[in-house]
Amino acid sequence: MNRANSVEMRQIVKTFGQVVANDHVDFSARTGEIHALLGENGAGKSTMMCMLSGVYRPTSGEIDIQGEPARIKTPKDAMKLGIGMVFQNFRLVQTLSAAENIVLGERSAFWRGARWMRAKMEEIEALADRFGLPFPVDRPIWQLSVGEQQRVEIVKTLYRGADIIILDEPTSVLTPGEAEQLFFTLLHMKSEGKTVIMTTHKLKEVMAVSDRISVMRKGRMMHTLSKSDTDERELARLMVGNETAANLHRQPRRSKPGNTLPLLEVQSLDVYADHGRKALDRLDLTIREGEIVGVAGVAGNGQRELAEVLTGLRGWRSGAIRFDGKPLANGSVRGAIEAGIAHVPENRMKSGLAGSLGIVDNLLVKSYASATRSKYGFLRSADNRSWSQFLVEKFDVKTPDLETPVRSLSGGNQQKLLFAREIHQNPKLMVAVHPTQGLDVGATDGVHRLLCELRDNGRSVLLISEDLDEIMLLADRIVVLYGGAIAGEVSRELADREQIGLWMAGMRNEEEEAAL
């Protein structure tokens, strides 16, 4: 082993049931370097770092830390070895102060008093200033900005003696100014001999701050190279692969798109995310009848907010949405349903289905008040059971009986039940978000056929997916979101993985740059 390596992971395999998240991956990071771990969502980079930080245990493989074999079973084991991880979703107690979060769990804190806490606050302030990470140490976490909360997380790892610091998508919630400040901090850490590993998908940031770059794709390590030996275009090609749309087996169209009038018109839409930053920035989008529009992009670029706005789960700040020639109600779920918009959400068991309820109740969620499902305020129980049995058989939902709690069904059958409910509403537009996530090959094929049948029957589909292969397989037109705006758009016939990969990374191809 190279003694300059502070981290060496060899032949790492991690499986979740039948899913292989990491497939015999080799990875190493050197002392005193900033190492970027690059890849699309689902490439396996965060899973690798979760094993290094003790959140997961490898199914097989070996890990050496500072040249010695390491058995990392828990985050506590990782911290004893000098490994700290700052997660994309911060792990802070909102009601405690920043200083209290940092010292939380420290053994000496058991006998703390006011004088002890003041001394700790001074120690934390000095550490934060040393690395250029200022924040009010006495203020509760809920009163801090997202950028300040990230600084608390980083200082917490430094305070606990971490020499190997992992940052998971660290700039995803930061403003450009905060990101610049973070890069300054990372360079300071490097100068003090610390190892910094940064998982990311942003090529410009990789080239700005890293020393070496490892690229992962579909659970495998594709390449590790020095920044001086590569450029953004090569990294984009490594990240998304060289397959072209022509190599994919697509579902054939049985009809041409409907009339040329737009079904959905999104105009100059501004939408803000939960953390207060703009998620959609003057977005313009048009969907016509009888087409599948695929939305590609790395998570966190406005896909979630777009789906929520169209389905009434989130309001918009400015701009307008017209649907089927009429203005769409702002932030109204009922208004979206009545307009003819169906929704298959990203997390079917969180916001799509009620796990403790049976088949009939879940199918009735959107239609219980209709004349066919109820009369004088009372549900038509016998009719509803017959109707539910018809849908279960039509959509091939495998269930012991109609009373079985939905949470007991397989993921594929849950998804088919969800599609059965949404499609039965005869929607004009289906908003499908990661519709095949976690499904096996057979269930995935079934979902793809349902989406294509909607299109062939003159309905429209907005397909939001992090699986670029799925987008290129199904979409008639592909738009790429980056930073809340459309970075590029291409028809099905002209779709090219390399071009789409550049747009996903916020870059233009040579022809686009020449046209500017």
**pLDDT tens across the length of the chain (516 residues):** 444 889 999 999 999 887 788 999 999 999 999 999 998 766 889 899 999 999 999 999 999 999 999 999 999 999 999 999 998 778 899 999 999 999 988 776 556 677 888 899 999 999 999 999 999 999 999 988 878 899 999 999 999 999 999 998 888 767 667 788 899 999 999 999 999 999 987 787 888 899 999 999 889 999 999 999 998 888 888 887 754 333 334 555 555 554 567 999 999 999 998 877 889 999 999 999 999 999 998 777 899 999 999 999 999 999 999 999 999 999 999 999 999 999 999 888 888 999 999 999 999 998 998 999 999 989 999 999 999 999 999 888 888 899 999 988 877 889 899 999 999 889 999 999 988 876 655 677 788 999 999 999 999 999 998 778 889 889 999 999 998 999 999 998 898 888 888 898 887 655 555 554
Tokens coding 391: 């849908």
- Sequence ranges of the chain with CATH classification 3.40.50.300: 5-240, 244-340+428-446+460-516
Q: How many CA atoms lie within 13 A of 342 on its CB side?
A: 24
Q: Which residues contact 270 (CB under 8 A, 6 or more apart)?
A: 278, 280, 281, 282, 283, 316, 317, 318, 319
For β-strands 19-30 and 83-86, DSSP reports them as: unpaired
Could you give the 3-state DSSP secondary structure of residue 142? Answer: helix
CATH topology of domain 244-340+428-446+460-516: Rossmann fold (3.40.50)
Contact 15, 31 (CB under 8 A): no
Q: Which residues contact 374 (CB under 8 A, 6 or more apart)?
A: 368, 380
Stated as kind and residue range, the H or E segment containing 147 is: helix 146-159
If phi > 0 it is left, if psi is from -120 to 50 it is alpha, else beta; for residue 266 that is beta
Rounded Cα–Cα distance for residues 230 and 312 (Å): 44
Contact 94, 155 (CB under 8 A): no
Could you give the 3-state DSSP secondary structure of residue 56? Answer: coil
Contact 431, 307 (CB under 8 A): yes
Q: For 241, phi and psi rounded to 5 degrees?
A: 90, 175
- Cα first-last separation, the chain: 49
Taking only Cα atoms into account, the Rg of the chain, rounded to an integer number of angstroms, comes to 25
Tokens coding 211: 């020393």
pLDDT of residue 259: 52
CATH topology of domain 5-240: Rossmann fold (3.40.50)
List the Cα angle 393/396/402 in 5-degree steps: 60
Q: Could you give the C-alpha distances from 103 to 95, 155, 279, 292, in angstroms and in order?
A: 14, 11, 34, 52
